[in-house]
Structure 1
């Protein structure tokens, strides 16, 4: 059986700064100039106050597992990775991102909730895609 390559994100004008940062192995977020809210995925308006004065900044790339599922059946492109952990990561800056957590034993209990993680990156084609790995409490 031939495995197809995983999908490669295609940056748009709105998402280009996020993907350019990923190429540098960084997580970029937007910040509202009116209310200072950090914004988790690229938008034209602040979801907190509606402001349009949004700038990009480099986040720490650290956070905690807020929620997760263990994927046991997947599309053929992701089947070689099964089982894997798909998680909502709450970044230190506040926004939440959906990503994969690697280097963890697929847990069937609540053992991964609140796990400290940091961004790492997976190469897909010519693009870097953020994934997360566990970190020690002192890291």
Structure 2
């Protein structure tokens, strides 16, 4: 994770340099805000990668003498397919349309969204992929 940390940190430093220059040349609030948020995002990811680097042992990818075979084995848990994100996105779309067209639609979409989020959260407790 050290290489990833340095990659994101260098992008954050790039935005630290570019953001004031952009503001000085354009005096535009929207672009400066976007560049500031990008800078903060890169620093947040850099902090996370730095923190994770301290918690895990050194990976073969981080060593110059690391071999491909050293990285073999189980990589982690990857969830199988799920329909819940699609339904949650449609419920969120209804919520947004409810704000635009009328609060009655927003109120109607709230329980649908709650059901979708609960179903997505507990999908590994029932059915085919239960633990």
The TM-score, its normalising length taken from structure 1, stands at 0.19
Q: Which structure's CA Rg is the greater one?
A: 2
Q: Which has the higher strand share?
A: 1
Q: Which has the higher helix share?
A: 2
Give me the TM-score of the superposition, normalised by structure 2.
0.20
Higher RCO (C-alpha under 8 Å, 6+ residues apart): 1
